[in-house]
Amino acid sequence: MDDDVQLLDTTLRDGEQAPGVSLSPEQKAEIASLLDEAGVSVIEAGSACTGPGERRTMDRVTDLDLDATVTSFTRGVQHDIDLALDVDVDGVHIVVPSSDRHVEDKVGTTKEGVLESTAELVEYATDHDLWVEVIGEDGSRADLDFLEEIMVAGMDAGADRFAFADTVGHTSPEHAYEAVSRLSQHGPVSTHTHDDLGLAVTNALASIAAGADLVHATVNGIGERAGNVALEEVAIALWHNYDVETVDTEQLYRLSSLVADATGIVLPPNKAVSGDNAFAHESGIHTDGMLKDERMYEPYAPEAVGRERRLVLGKHAGRAGVEAALAEHDVTVEDDDLAEIVAKVKEIGERGRRVTDTDLLAITEDVTGRDRERNVELLDLTAASGNGTPAASVRLRVGDDERTASGTGSGPVDAAMKAVREALRNVEFRLDEYHVDAITGGTDAVVTVDVTLRVGDRTASVAASDADITQASVEAIVDGLDRLLPADDPTGVPADD
Ligand SMILES: [Zn+2]
C-alpha cells in the first residue's frame, strides 16, 4: 500500500448536497479550520457556480489562509472556472461526463467533444495557475478505454491528476481496482466513492491498492443518497490496518461532532469511530474482559480518535462492571449487597432502559439502606416562551441555602439552563452530553432527557422524563449536580468566603 496517501475533504461541497443540509458561512469556516488543523491536504470548499451566497462563503474559507489546498467544483464550462478564480481558490475539480449515459443523454455531446473540451478547460485553468483535477463523472459506469482517453487528454493539457468517480455508488472493489490500475499508468489518480452498496470504504481501499493516492471523503459520510465515503473511517482504517497516517486521528471525533451539530444529521449509535456506542461496553463478559485488559474487545484505543471508553450498565451487567461503576463514585459495597444491586440494574435494563449513574446510586442506597440527604434540589421552575424573549426562573435548595435566579436564552430550555448556572454561579459544571428522545409520537409525548454532567474530572449520567422538556432538562441537571457537588460544601463557595 502506498504510504503517501492523502485525503481530500468534500464535506463542504458533496456533503452539503445531502438532502436538507445547508451550512452557514460561519459553520463552513469553522469546519474548514478544523479539517486544516487535522491535516487534511485538500479542502473542496464548494461550487463557485452555485451563486453569490456560496461565493461569499467560499471567500470566507479562502480568507482563512489554510495550509490545505482549497478548491472549487466546476462544471465543464469556462465560466465556472472564472467564478472559481473570483473566489481565489487554489485549484479546481473540472467535472466532465464519461459514461455514455452522461455524455449523450445528460450533456448531449459526443466522446470527441468531451476530449476536446477537457483539454481546452484544463489549459485555461492551468494558464491561470490553478491546481487541476479532472473528474470523469460516472466513471465507474464508463467504458474504461474512453475513461483512459479523458485522463490522457487532461494530463497532456497540464492537469495535476484525474479522479475515478463512482458517482452513483455502483462499483465493486474488483472493478475499482481494475479501473484505477489502468488509469494510474497515466499519472496520479484520486478516488471518489459513494456508499449506495455499503462499499464506499472497501472501494476506496481497493483504489488505493491499485495506486490511487488521494481519497475524496466527507466527514460522517454525509452526501447525496447513501452518502460519500466517511473521512474518519478511511483515516482510521488506513492507520490501523496499513500504518498509513493521513490526518491527526485524535481530531476525528471533534470533526464528527462538529459536522453532526452543524448539519443536524445525527449519527447512528453503532457508527464506526464516532457513534455513541463505538467504545461502549455493556455485556457483563465484555466489561469484565475490558477491566482486565483494555484491548480485550477493542481494535484500537478510543483515545486514538479523541474519545473515552464508556462502560454502560444494562440488562447484560455483571458484578465487575457494577463494582467498577460504583468505584467511580467512591462507593464500595458488601458482596451480598452487590449481588442485589446487579439484579436490580439488570431489571431496569430488561425494560429497555439505559441505567444511569443516578439510577445506580439510588438503587445502591436502597439496597444498603444508607440514607442520604440531597445536596441540591429543584423547588420550583417557571419558563415562558412565545412572542418575547424566552425566559425562565428557578428556585433551588443548595445545602442549607435557598437560591432563586432567572435567565433568558434562545429557547425555554436554554433560558432555564442559564438560570441554573446563575443560581450556582460559584460552581463550574459542563454538559458533556445532552440528548432528548420522545417516547411516543404525538404532541403529548413524554420526553426523556439524557445528560452527562461534568464537575472537574468527575462525571454523572442522568435521565429524567416529563411531558415538559424544560422540566425534564432542569431535573436531570439538578439530579446530576446533586451527585457531583461535595456534600460538605455544595454551594461551591470557598470556606473563607
Ligand atoms: Zn460525489
CB distance 141 to 104 below 8 Å? no
Residue spans of the domains in the chain: they are 6-263, 280-368, 376-484
CB distance 407 to 392 below 8 Å? yes
Q: For position 94, what pLDDT does the model report?
A: 97
Residue 193 CA to ligand 1 centre (angstroms): 7
Residue 228 CA to ligand 1 centre (angstroms): 6
**CA-based nearest residue to 72, from 123, 316, 226, 86:** 86
Residue 381 CA to ligand 1 centre (angstroms): 49
CB distance 432 to 490 below 8 Å? no
Class assignment of domain 6-263?
A: alpha beta
Residue 107 CA to ligand 1 centre (angstroms): 17
Residue 435 CA to ligand 1 centre (angstroms): 31
Residue 153 CA to ligand 1 centre (angstroms): 22
Residues 242-257 pLDDT 10s:
999 999 999 999 999 9
Residues 301, 272: Cα–Cα separation, whole Å: 13
Residue 12 CA to ligand 1 centre (angstroms): 12
Residues 36, 197: Cα–Cα separation, whole Å: 30
Residue 374 CA to ligand 1 centre (angstroms): 55
Residue 85 CA to ligand 1 centre (angstroms): 22
> Which cell numbers in the block locate residue 110?
459526443
Residues 216, 190: Cα–Cα separation, whole Å: 7
Residue 25 CA to ligand 1 centre (angstroms): 22
Percent of the chain with pLDDT over 90: 71
Residues 142-171 pLDDT 10s:
999 999 999 999 999 999 999 999 999 999
Residues 407, 327: Cα–Cα separation, whole Å: 36
Residues 73-130 pLDDT 10s:
999 999 999 999 999 999 999 999 999 888 887 777 899 999 999 999 999 999 999 9
Residue 225 CA to ligand 1 centre (angstroms): 10
Q: Classify domain 376-484 at the CATH topology level.
A: Double Stranded RNA Binding Domain (3.30.160)
Residue 74 CA to ligand 1 centre (angstroms): 13
> Which cell numbers in the block locate residue 169?
455508488
Residues 92-104 pLDDT 10s:
999 999 998 888 8
User: Binning pLDDT at 50, 70 and 90, where does residue 329 land?
Assistant: confident
CB distance 444 to 451 below 8 Å? no
Residue 252 CA to ligand 1 centre (angstroms): 21
Residue 215 CA to ligand 1 centre (angstroms): 12
Bigger pLDDT: 442 or 431? 431
Residue 334 CA to ligand 1 centre (angstroms): 59
Residues 453, 431: Cα–Cα separation, whole Å: 5
Residue 230 pLDDT exceeds 50: yes
Residues with CB under 5 A from ligand 1 (ion): 14
Q: For position 388, what pLDDT does the model report?
A: 84
**CA-based nearest residue to 118, from 70, 72, 65, 81:** 81
Residue 165 CA to ligand 1 centre (angstroms): 7
Does the domain made of 280-368 have the CATH classification 1.10.238?
yes
Residue 19 CA to ligand 1 centre (angstroms): 13
Neighbours of 39 (CB within 10 A): 17
Residues 173, 229: Cα–Cα separation, whole Å: 14
Angle in degrees, CA 60, 22, 51, rounded to 5: 60
Residue 88 CA to ligand 1 centre (angstroms): 23
Q: For position 2, what pLDDT does the model report?
A: 64
Residue 14 CA to ligand 1 centre (angstroms): 6
Within 8 A by CB and 6+ apart from 253, the residues are 232, 273, 274, 305, 306, 307
CB distance 214 to 161 below 8 Å? yes
Q: Which of 214-228, 234-248, 280-294 has the lowest mean pLDDT?
A: 280-294
**Of how many residues is the chain composed?**
497
Average pLDDT over residues 237-243: 96
Domains 6-263 and 280-368 share a fold: no
Angle in degrees, CA 52, 120, 113, rounded to 5: 100
Radius of gyration over every alpha carbon of the chain, rounded to an integer in angstroms = 27
Q: What is the mean pLDDT of the chain?
A: 92
**CA-based nearest residue to 34, from 234, 259, 275, 223:** 259
DSSP state of 164: E
Residues 340, 434: Cα–Cα separation, whole Å: 30
